Structure 1
């Protein structure tokens, strides 16, 4: 099935393969490589992508998938968050934008304009639609029965002051997603980048204790292998 094929495809990405594993050819291989719990996260991620492939505005969908990919890469530089958790968080952090994209014909432009306001972008949505994608995203999370950890990511991925996030794992995961957002925006949506994006990158790097110079390889791979 397409779900199986996509799960195997993602399981073959380098961040999921062990040094001794050259490829994943079946779901059984995937279980052996990443384990059942982590496989569940990938299945949810892929199912969500497949469900929305024909619904979402292209820019919105591409942005979310790229954030998921970069977030999983960033786990190599951090501790306490697995690749599959980061991928799932990156994919679902903007789940509400997919609902908005199908409901509001002008949302693609509102979405792109809001990218430069990495912390205040939801204000633009609220003024246009009377609600935000973070609120809509929680409805999506409930449908997919996501753990509360991912609900926190959906609600707080625009949080400027990361120290206000009490749960340490949630704070790390949100910081990873924020750093991925900044990298994707700067690299692939540079026309819509801005001061707040730069600030989000600096703040998340500080929280994760990652030197910005270490991100060069991620930027290069993002431009080389991006789906955009």
Structure 2
């Protein structure tokens, strides 16, 4: 597994930042799921506490991602269709956006969450297409949505964050190191702290902590972490995330590490066109299918 995080760095990263606690609603849902006989009506009632979150959950469930034969109109039906464990992962990631945004979304924040949604959706579709099991694919979806959450905290402290990061990408800098020069922390580390405090499993937290550190992730002995990292970076590349967020194309990180990332997934560059068609069929715009 990747190198253990330096706790002195973790403490320093929290200077001036507050990691949002897991909302009470999620705790109630997980407590209900832990019951010997979970009550779907109680779970649906928890989600329905927030109309915005409930509505967004239904929007995701009814997206081409799940290819439903008919539209689902209630959270109860969504609970039964998704299954309890998948539901909590989905709601977890949806609540993240509402918690960090706090109802205030400027242009960059909108781009950030739109990108996170596209990357999450692309991640689960790619994992499923590559015949990875459903639990792993669900985890890839969660990592896709959480991995840049630290950017929302960075932006809250520095409105110039997008401009500074655009310069970093233009110079081909190592993103985590570049952020530390300006902010004494990185969105990777803040994202790790959010994921950890929200109870994500250790392998997901590790990928989030090092998602701009391919030299570390690709050297890890944990095959699942390498694959999850590779899926994330492939999803970022295919959805054009650096262009969407910072106007940078091509992504210098992908250009430098593409061969190694594709090797982890046993893919060749020419297969990306076919994967672009797969994503398009799932309703996900991508750079390989305009």
TM-score, with structure 1 as normaliser: 0.83
Which sections of structure 2, spanning at least 5 residues, go unmatched?
Answer: 1-50
Contact 2:166–2:247 (Cα < 8 Å) also in 1: no
- Counterpart Cα distance in 2 of 1:217 and 1:187: 21
- Counterpart Cα distance in 1 of 2:61 and 2:145: 15
Per-residue deviation at 1:118? 7.9
- Counterpart Cα distance in 2 of 1:105 and 1:113: 15
Greater CA drift, 108-117 or 145-154 = 108-117
Q: Secondary structure at 1:150's aligned position in 2?
A: helix
1:124-173 deviation line (CA, Å, top 9, x unaligned): 11111121111111221233222212211211212324442222222211
Q: Secondary structure at 2:72's aligned position in 1?
A: coil
Q: Which residue of structure 2 lines up, in the alignment, with residue 45 of structure 1? A: 93
Q: Which residue of structure 2 lines up, in the alignment, with residue 27 of structure 1? A: 75
Give the 3 Å change call, closer, same or farther, for CA 222–117 of structure 1 in structure 2. Answer: farther
- Counterpart Cα distance in 2 of 1:73 and 1:118: 29
Q: How many pairs were matched up? A: 222
Q: Secondary structure at 1:164's aligned position in 2?
A: coil
Answering whether residue 208 of structure 2 is matched by residue 160 of structure 1, we say no
Contact 1:67–1:180 (Cα < 8 Å) also in 2: yes
1:89-108 deviation line (CA, Å, top 9, x unaligned): 10111121111011112101
Greater CA drift, 7-16 or 47-56 = 47-56
Instruction: Write out aligned runs for 1:99-138 (5 A).
Output: 99-115=153-169, 120-138=174-192
Greater CA drift, 150-159 or 97-106 = 150-159
Answering whether residue 275 of structure 2 is matched by residue 215 of structure 1, we say yes
1:57-111 deviation line (CA, Å, top 9, x unaligned): 3333333232222212212322135443222110111121111011112101123
Instruction: Write out aligned runs for 1:1-228 (5 A).
Output: 1-17=51-67, 21-53=69-101, 54-55=104-105, 57-58=108-109, 59-78=111-130, 79-80=132-133, 81-115=135-169, 120-161=174-215, 162-185=217-240, 188-189=243-244, 191-192=247-248, 193-210=250-267, 211-217=271-277, 220=280, 221-223=283-285
Contact 1:125–1:132 (Cα < 8 Å) also in 2: yes
The alignment yields a C-alpha RMSD, in angstroms, of 2.7
Greater CA drift, 89-98 or 61-70 = 61-70
- Counterpart Cα distance in 1 of 2:91 and 2:146: 13
Per-residue deviation at 1:187? 8.3
Contact 1:86–1:177 (Cα < 8 Å) also in 2: yes
Contact 2:72–2:78 (Cα < 8 Å) also in 1: yes
Q: Secondary structure at 2:285's aligned position in 1?
A: helix
- Counterpart Cα distance in 2 of 1:29 and 1:2: 17
